[in-house]
């Protein structure tokens, strides 16, 4: 176990800084410009959401942070600094150390993200043995403790269960247990409750929030559900077609969105005060990210506030007083 390399400074401010990140994917049908100069920062213990629809690049960003991008991905610019460590330049050995111990990720389909032929207790123990300072004798007991901490009833018996024997909600709790086993500084949750029942979703998200607060762990929540993001995160970054269009504190985002896409996204989200007629669809569709001639602002083709200046680079990104960011030439 190498202790010296892969040292992440948990007190670094900000804990996670993504700057100017651009990623391309080489595919059979062309080069997909998945991310365009994505940037945001997350402080210690903070909760932040990356909100966007499918194709917005939020999952790609999450995978880039933790270093599990597909082999066809090429990072064309930018950097990711986590606790002072430059993640994109780090060697695989360093990343192996950091993953699981300092930063952890939980995925969308819990049952498919777990090893189907290994009992869940052993899977948690695997994480502990790899990254925690525990002996092989201590690991199983600690695994049962983790299961209890994520409120799985009868943890001793469940530790011997296989993923297919557990419900979706329980599998997600097991994943949380695995992720939190070594008390990482940052938890990335990639659509953790999509596909789960709404009551299960509430329980899971409450659990994550509680454990994060208890350990001073920062949380990056990837989701398409604006209301979910509002419920659990203090800051929200809205993404569209691979660009971060706005970052704002949650309280301000809904009252005063500055970006046209944010405003439209809010207007399209069903909530109990709106009727069907008040909901407004977002016109147009995602631009084809394989094109060479993408405009500087990738939302401009769908925006009624578009002017000629929106097409030519660079896309202005302005920091705001409340820690927010707006990437628009003519914000609201």
Interface residue with other proteins, options 198, 293, 304, 314 (CB under 8 A): 198
Residue 224 interacts with other proteins (CB under 8 A): yes or no: yes
Taken as a whole, the chain contains a residue count of 332
Residue 285 interacts with other proteins (CB under 8 A): yes or no: yes
Distance of closest approach, residue 81 Cβ to other proteins, in angstroms: 29
What is the rounded radius of gyration, in angstroms, for the C-alpha atoms of the chain? 20
Q: What is the rounded distance in angstroms from the CA atom of residue 299 to the CA atom of residue 301?
A: 6
Residue 135 interacts with other proteins (CB under 8 A): yes or no: no
Do residues 205 and 232 touch, judged by C-beta distance below 8 A?
A: yes
In the chain, how long is the greatest CA-to-CA distance? 67
Q: What is the rounded distance in angstroms from the CA atom of residue 252 to the CA atom of residue 59?
A: 25
Q: Mark out the alpha helices in the chain (DSSP H runs).
A: 58-66, 92-98, 110-113, 120-131, 139-149, 155-158, 168-180, 198-215, 226-232, 250-255, 260-268
Q: What is the dihedral sign for C-alpha 127, 130, 131, 137? A: positive
Q: In the stretch 3-42, what mask flags binding to other proteins with x, by CB under 8 A?
A: --------------------------x-------------
Please say which residue, 79 or 301, places its beta carbon nearer to other proteins: 301
Q: What is the rounded distance in angstroms from the CA atom of residue 296 to the CA atom of residue 45?
A: 34
Residue 211 interacts with other proteins (CB under 8 A): yes or no: no
Q: What is the rounded distance in angstroms from the CA atom of residue 186 to the CA atom of residue 101?
A: 9
Interface residue with other proteins, options 9, 20, 70, 206 (CB under 8 A): 206
Q: 166 CB contacts (<8 Å, ≥6 apart)?
A: 111, 120, 158, 174
Residue 269 interacts with other proteins (CB under 8 A): yes or no: yes
Annotate 183-232 with DSSP letters as a single string. Answer: --SEEEEESTTTTS-HHHHHHHHHHHHHHHHHHT-EEEEEES-HHHHHHH
Cα atoms found within 13 Å of the Cα of residue 47, Cβ hemisphere only: 21
Interface residue with other proteins, options 81, 201, 243, 262 (CB under 8 A): 201
Residue 133 interacts with other proteins (CB under 8 A): yes or no: no
Interface residue with other proteins, options 2, 68, 72, 279 (CB under 8 A): 279
Stretch that binds other proteins, among 85-93, 98-106, 155-163, 273-281 (CB under 8 A): 273-281
Do residues 201 and 193 touch, judged by C-beta distance below 8 A?
A: yes
Instruction: Residue 322: count other Cβ atoms within 10 Å of its Cβ.
Output: 11
Distance of closest approach, residue 61 Cβ to other proteins, in angstroms: 18
Distance of closest approach, residue 219 Cβ to other proteins, in angstroms: 15
Interface residue with other proteins, options 59, 61, 123, 250 (CB under 8 A): 250
Residue 268 interacts with other proteins (CB under 8 A): yes or no: yes
Interface residue with other proteins, options 19, 96, 126, 231 (CB under 8 A): 231
Interface residue with other proteins, options 120, 226, 244, 327 (CB under 8 A): 226
Interface residue with other proteins, options 1, 3, 71, 153 (CB under 8 A): 153
Residue 274 interacts with other proteins (CB under 8 A): yes or no: yes
Residues 46 to 85: which contact other proteins by CB under 8 A?
53-54
Interface residue with other proteins, options 1, 4, 71, 276 (CB under 8 A): 276
Please say which residue, 66 or 150, places its beta carbon nearer to other proteins: 150
Residue in 90, 64, 72, 61 with CA at minimum distance from that of residue 237:
61
Residues that bind other proteins (CB under 8 A): 29, 53-54, 153, 167-168, 197-203, 205-206, 209, 224-228, 230-232, 250, 254, 264-266, 268-272, 274-276, 279-282, 285
């Amino acid at each position: 176990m190498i202790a010296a390399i892969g040292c992440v400074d948990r007190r670094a401010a900000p804990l996670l800084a993504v700057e100017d990140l651009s990623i391309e994917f080489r595919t059979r049908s062309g080069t997909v410009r998945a991310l365009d100069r994505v940037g945001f920062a997350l402080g210690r213990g903070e909760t932040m959401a990356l909100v966007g629809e499918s194709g917005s690049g939020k999952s790609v960003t999450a995978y880039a942070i933790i270093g599990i991008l597909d082999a066809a991905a090429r990072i064309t610019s930018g950097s990711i600094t986590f606790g002072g460590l430059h993640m994109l330049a780090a060697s695989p050995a360093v990343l192996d150390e950091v993953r699981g111990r300092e930063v952890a990720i939980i995925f969308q389909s819990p049952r498919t993200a777990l090893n189907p032929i290994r009992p869940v207790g052993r899977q948690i123990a695997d994480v502990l043995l790899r990254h925690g300072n525990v002996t092989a004798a201590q690991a199983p007991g600690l695994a049962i403790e983790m299961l209890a901490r994520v409120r799985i009833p009868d943890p001793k018996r469940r530790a011997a269960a296989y993923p297919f024997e557990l419900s979706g909600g329980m599998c997600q709790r097991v994943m949380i247990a695995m992720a939190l086993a070594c008390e990482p500084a940052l938890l990335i949750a990639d659509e953790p409750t999509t596909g789960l029942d709404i009551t299960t979703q509430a329980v899971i998200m409450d659990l994550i929030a509680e454990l994060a607060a208890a350990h001073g762990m920062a949380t990056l929540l990837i989701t398409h559900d604006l209301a979910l993001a509002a419920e659990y995160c203090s800051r929200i970054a809205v993404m569209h077609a691979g660009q971060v269009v706005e970052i704002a504190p949650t309280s301000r985002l809904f009252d005063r969105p500055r970006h046209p896409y944010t405003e439209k996204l809010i207007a399209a989200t069903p909530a109990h005060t709106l009727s069907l007629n008040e909901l407004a669809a977002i016109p147009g569709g995602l631009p084809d990210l394989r094109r060479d001639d993408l405009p500087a602002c990738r939302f401009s083709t769908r925006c009624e506030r578009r002017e000629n200046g929106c097409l030519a680079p660079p896309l202005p990104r302005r920091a705001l007083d409340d820690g927010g960011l707006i990437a628009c030439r003519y914000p609201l």
